[in-house]
Every structure is written in C-alpha cells, then in structure tokens.
Structure 1
Amino acid sequence: MNPVQEELSARERGILEAVIDNFITTARPVGSRTLSRSGGLGLSPASIRNTMSDLEEKGYLYQPFQSAGRVPTDKAYRLHVDAVTAQRRSAPRSAVQTLERIKEDLAVEKVLQRAAEALSVITSELGFGIEPLVDEGLLEGVELIRLSSDRIMLVLTIGRGVVKTIFVELDRRFDNSRLDKLASRLRERLTGLTLSEIRHTARNRLKDAVEDERDPLNIFIQSADTLFDLKESNRELVFGETSKLATQPEFNDQGNLRSLISLTDRKLHLLEVMKKRANKEGLSISIGGENELSDLANFTLVTDTYRMGKMSGIIGVIGPTRMSYRRVISVVEYTSRLLSDMLDK
C-alpha cells in the first residue's frame, strides 16, 4: 500500500474523496454540512468537521478564507489520482464517438490537431499534441526544391508521414537536372536509415558518389551533422480550442489566465517540460507544484505517449488542478491508443 494512504483512516479517506468529488463538481469550498446532507457518509456535520480539520492538519485540505469550507490541496489530488490510475478505466462512449472522427485525416500534423481539438471539447481542458521526435525515425523520402539561385529546400519524409523542411545554402548555381540527380543519389544512399545513422555515416555512404569537386553532394557530406540534426525545438506542438477552458471558474483569476496564455506562447518551455515524458512510455500526470514551470503551479498536466514506428509523441491536456481526473485520464489514454493504432502501422 502507498505510505501516503496508510496515514489516513478509512473515515478520513472517505471524507477526503467526498470533498474532492464535490469540489470538482461545484468549484466551491466544501463544508461539513454540505457533505452530511449529501448522504452516503452516515456521519453528523460535527464528526465530518472534526475529520476535515484533521485532514487540514495533514496537508490534504485548506481553508481559502475564514468561515469558508475546505478545498483539496495538490497532496489530496495526488492521492485521488493514484487511486484512479490503480483502477481499470474506459473512456465514455460519447468521447469515443467524437475521437473516432479523427480517423478521417491521415497526415500526422492534421491527426494531432484534430486529436487536440477533440480533447479540448470532450474534457473542457486545453488539449495539445506533440509530434514524434524524429531522430530514430526511418528516412522514407528526399526531395530538393529550388528557392533561388543559391538556395534550395531539402524536404525529408520520416517515419510514416512526418515531413520536415531544411533550407540549404549553395556556394554556386546548379541547373535543375543536376539537382534532380542529387536528390536521386541522396534517396539511393540514405533512405531506410535513421537520422542518427545518417549523421554518423553520411560521409562514408556518399563520398564514392561524388563526381567532382564542384558536385553539390559535397555540401551534404560536409554538413551532414547539422543538416540532419532535427532538434527538440523543431517538433510541432499543436493546441486545441481554449474557449471552454477559459469559462472555468479558475480563470476569473486573471493571473491564471495570463499564465496559461504565456505558456502557450512559449513553445520551447513546454517542449522542454515534455522532453522527459517523451522518454517515458505511458501515462504521466503532474499536479500543481509537481510541475517544473512556475506558470504551471495551478495546473495539472495529463499526458500519454503514442507510437509511430520507432518514434513516440505525446498527447494530453492542461487544465486547473480541479479537473475530473477519472474522465480526463480515460479519455487521454484512449486517444493515445487510437493515435498509435492509426500511426504505428
């Protein structure tokens, strides 16, 4: 048994869960009389009040202002979430029906956008998706597109449809036929390899295909370490609609709203937070103060990984710590499985 659970009696756990459920539903501090009237506990208001005081001393509840009821703390939500994740869960049928519609799109970026939007609608939180880190994905296609006399765009298709573009500066002009031949040689020598393998072996794989010192293939041999190094910051991060989330009572506090807007504007910060989750398969939940970013001190992140060949991406929601964890967790897990079924083929 979790040592945190051991320090609570059965009565304390029952009352704490009742407070959490009531607060999630109403967004109002919960009083002992409210719990007594709701039935189910079989306790008097005085008995409930005494137990709530004990829970406050233990750090599970707090009183936002004098004479108010109690509100769950991050510690209480952690206990609640651990109990929820220990149970078998299935997404509500209505959520499943909404999510199944994302199958209408096949391109990765469109699938992720639709999944994030669906999560926002279903959970009333902020849905988001992060495309896979492509370093271990297999290169499937190479195209070169001329942009100007001394600049081309390298278009890489990786894994099962992730498309990345890289701008390449040329030191001299090459006609289109030579660019087509260059693209053909790159496809012949590099497709089927991961970007990591390309960075480490491009010189050996390409050097015998060089025709002369003016051959543009030399640019790719000399710059392979940088051209094929698609860092974390290049990952696509998409958000669903914020309209439902913004109507929640927590956003009457303009500070919370500013924090959320700031976070969505600072893509690199969120990607950095998610970097550790990308290396850890499965469900991950961080509540309030457990988050590394101060902007997330009043929020919960619920994420899960999805697979796309050797690559993995992230799907999830951000919302106030007061959220319907049972529903949100089941929906995020279902979305993760759905994306994996669609993309990991």
Structure 2
Amino acid sequence: MVTQGSTVQLNERAQDVLKTLIREFVVDGKPVGSGRLAKSYWEKLSSATIRNVMADLEKVGFLTQPHTSAGRVPTTKGYRFYVDSLSDTRQLTAREVVRIKQSLEQETDPGELMSKTSQVLSTLSNNVGFVLAPPISRAAMKHIKFIRIAKKRILVVLVTGSGFVQHRLIQTDQEFSQRELNQAGRYLVAHFEGKTLLEIRLELLRLMLEEKSLYDQMLKNVTLLGAATFVQYEGEEDEESEVYLGSTAGMIRKPELADINKMTVLFETFEEKSRLVKIVTECLKTNSSGPTVRIGLEKHIPGMRDWALITSPYLCDQKAIGSLGILGPSRMEYDKAISLVDYVAKLFGKLLNSD
C-alpha cells in the first residue's frame, strides 16, 4: 500500500491514543475528549495522562482543537500517520463479497460493468465510487475491420482486448475495394493483436519508412489504412479518459457536507471531471500494484483539503490500463475502504479479461 508518509516517530502510547481517537472520530465526526477515551479504552490511564498525550500530538501537528472547550480532531498529518501504520486492513465480510460478485459478474458490456462497479463502490463505502476508463491509446487491439461506405470513405470497427467497440469513419486519398480492406484487416489482426493502439501506430510509421512497403501493394494498403485509423493515438498527455461516477446519496448525509461551500466544491469536481482524472492518473503513474491513498487534495483540487482519495489500478493482460476507487471526506474507515478498493480492482480486472 502506497501512502503519503510522515517522518515523525511516535512512542507506543502516543500511537495508541492517536489511532483510538481517529477510530472514535470516524464514528460520528464529533471532537474527541480525553474523558471519552479514558472511559472507553484506558481504565488504567487517567484523563489527565491522556490529555497530556493529546497535547503532545497537537504540538507535532497530528491533532487540532477546533474550539477551546472541545476535544481534538485529527489533522491531515494525523490521518496520514494512521494510514501508514495500518498493519492489516479489515477483510470484507463473506456477505459483502457475495454482494459484489452478484452485482458485477452478470455484466458483459464493459461500459455497463464500469458503471455498475462505481455504484458498488459508492454503496459499500458510503462515499463516491468511480472508475476511470483506460485511455484508448493504451487499449490493446483484439480485432479490426474495415467496411467500404463510399469511394473514399471507410468505416473502421475496432474491438479492444477489454471488449470496447469503437466505430470511426476515415477519409482516404485513394479508393479501396472491399477485398483489399478485408486483407488489410486480417493482416493487422495477425501481426498486431494484443499490442496497444499507440504501439501499432508507431510500428506502422516504421513500416511506411521501409522501402519494401512501397513495392508490396498489400503492405502499402495496410500502412495507408492503418495510418488513417491510428493517427489520433499519439500519446496520453492530452487524452481525456471517461469517468464513471457512482451515487453520492450515501455521502451527502455526512456532517462534512452540511457546509454548503464543501458541497459546492465537491459537485464542481464531479462537473469538471478533468480535475479528478488528473489526480487519479497521477496515482496510476506511481506503478503501485495495490491501493494508493491520498489524504488532503488541496494541492490538486482547491477547497478539498479535508478530502481523501483511495485508488487502485486494474489490469488487462497483466498491464495497468485504468484505475478505480473512492473519493470521500478524510474522516473515513480507511481499513475497510482500502480492502474494498483492492478487492474490487482485482475482480474488475479479472472480469475485463474474461471472454
């Protein structure tokens, strides 16, 4: 598990107080006082002793006191330390696993699977689940077919390894017969099946520079048709991936959303999905094979200091092609949320790879 780490070292007692305070705070979002901790967890420790530990934690920036007479609440730094120190995450219950499988395994259409997955993540976490579809340039080609529409207009039907079907109309400088189009399609499938669209584009450019493609008419047709088809797949810098968002119903009931400003920022983020895509794509670039936890999103999305993002890549043909996860207030059950995202990402990738 990858997290934004903290360099501060805490003794065992301070760690216990911090972890327990966070677990208490997650329950209801109310500031936690020393008396509440002493009564619930440490009969052998006085309120005064716990209060001193909490004061020390506040000095190093792990806790803060919202009001003079109130208890403490964890800061972003405190949450980070807590997540870093999780040795084990809470396993999903057998009932939750069955519910997830029943919801997802019946879906055969990739788009419907992504939509349903985001909904499952939302429902089970009471946060907002999302699935970031893979950029098309990163998708592997499974099949391609060219269909003659008019003299110099061709319909391209492209099927990716994960089952997405894309239709494109291309304009060519020369006329092709349907027989020539069929030959070109068979050649591309035979030589490039399993390669990403970006890889295919680069290989076709190389072939165009080789003299043999000038003398082999069929190969010349392949390079011309391929160039017209794959010219758009130059890279991922400016490529926008589609985001599937689950329901916000479970999250808007949380006290954090009682603040109209926080709610406004949240829904602006959903409206301007490019913000979310950018930060999730950054998580994908960490090359982590498991969940990545980001706490405090102010750097990426103004106004989202008190929010957290848990993401995990999903694989197709052993390659990370996209990401999924949950977005919610920093006050969340991280042990459960991390397990949920991890399990769903693995199942989702398995379902994408299944025929």
Task: Name the residue aligned to 2:232.
Answer: 227
- State the Cα deviation string for residues 192-240 of structure 1 (Å, max 9, x = none): 14312321222527766658x9x8x786355456234474634221011
In structure 1, the residue matched to 2:187 is 188
Distance 1:94 1:40 in 2: 33
Residues 141-150 or 322-331, more deviating: 141-150
Counterpart Cα distance in 2 of 1:182 and 1:168? 13
**Aligned-partner residue type, residue 303 of structure 1:** T
CA distance in 1, matches of 2:292, 2:254: 23
1:272 to 275, 278, 291: 278
Partner residue, 1:72: 74
Aligned partners of 2:158, 2:246: CA distance in 1, in Å? 27
Task: Tell me, yes or no, if structure 1 residue 336 matches structure 2 residue 339.
Answer: no
Give the SS at the match of 1:65: coil
The alignment covers a number of residue pairs equal to 337
User: Secondary structure at 1:227's aligned position in 2?
Assistant: coil
Q: Which residue of 2 aligns with 1:95?
A: 96
Deviations 1:248-296 (A, max 9, x none): 1100011111111111122222222222222313210000157533243
More displaced, 91-100 or 220-229? 220-229
- Cα 1:42–1:148 change in 2 (3 A) is farther
- Pairing partner for 1:244 from 250, 270, 289: 250
Q: Which amino acid aligns with 1:131?
A: A
Deviation of 1:89 after TM superposition, in Å, equals 4.6
CA RMSD of aligned residues (A): 3.0
CA distance in 2, matches of 1:327, 1:317: 12
Alignment partners' CA distance in 1, 2:179 and 2:76: 58
Query: Structure 1 vs Structure 2: percent identity of aligned residues?
Result: 27
Residue type of the partner of 1:182?
Answer: L
Give the direction of change, closer, same or farther, for the CA distance of 1:3–1:76 in structure 2 (3 Å limit).
closer
Task: Name 1:296's counterpart in structure 2.
Answer: 304
CA–CA distance in 2 between the matches of 1:188 and 1:282?
37
Does the CA-based 8 Å contact 1:142-1:183 persist in structure 2? no
Give the 3 Å change call, closer, same or farther, for CA 105–60 of structure 1 in structure 2: same
Deviations 1:77-99 (A, max 9, x none): 11111122x32552222321221
1:249–1:306 CA distance, 2 compared to 1 (3 A):
same
Using the alignment, how far apart are the partners of 1:3 and 1:61 within structure 2? 14
Letter in 2 for 1:92: T
Structure 2 CA distance for partners of 1:221 and 1:142, relative to 1, 3 Å: closer
1:307 is matched with which residue: 306, 310, 315?
315
Residue of structure 2 equivalent to 1:198: 200
Question: Structure 2 vs 1, CA of residues 295 and 3 (structure 1 numbering), >3 Å: closer, same or farther?
Answer: closer
Q: CA deviation at 1:151?
A: 5.8
The 5-angstrom pairing of residues 255-270 of structure 1 reads: 255-270=261-276
How big is each residue's C-alpha offset from its partner over 1:164-187, in whole Å with a ceiling of 9 and x where there is no partner? 344434568x79xx4575255234
TM, length-normalised to structure 1: 0.85
From 304, 312, 319, give the equivalent of 2:328.
319
SS at match of 2:308: strand
Checking the alignment, whether the CA contact within 8 Å between 1:285 and 1:302 is kept in structure 2 is yes
SS of match in other structure, 2:349: helix
Whether the 8 Å contact between 2:133 and 2:323 is mirrored in structure 1 is yes
More helix by percentage: 1
5+ long unaligned stretches in structure 1: none
In structure 2, C-alpha distance between the alignment counterparts of 1:185 and 1:42, rounded to whole Å: 79
Once residues 186 and 146 of structure 1 are traced to their aligned partners in structure 2, the CA distance between those partners, rounded to angstroms, is: 12
Secondary structure, counterpart of 2:105 in structure 1: helix
Q: Structure 1 257/166 Cα, relative in aligned 2: closer, same or farther at 3 Å? A: farther
Segment of structure 1 superposing worse, 41-50 or 12-21: 41-50
**Equivalent residue number for residue 132 of structure 2:** 130
C-alpha displacement of 1:100: 0.7
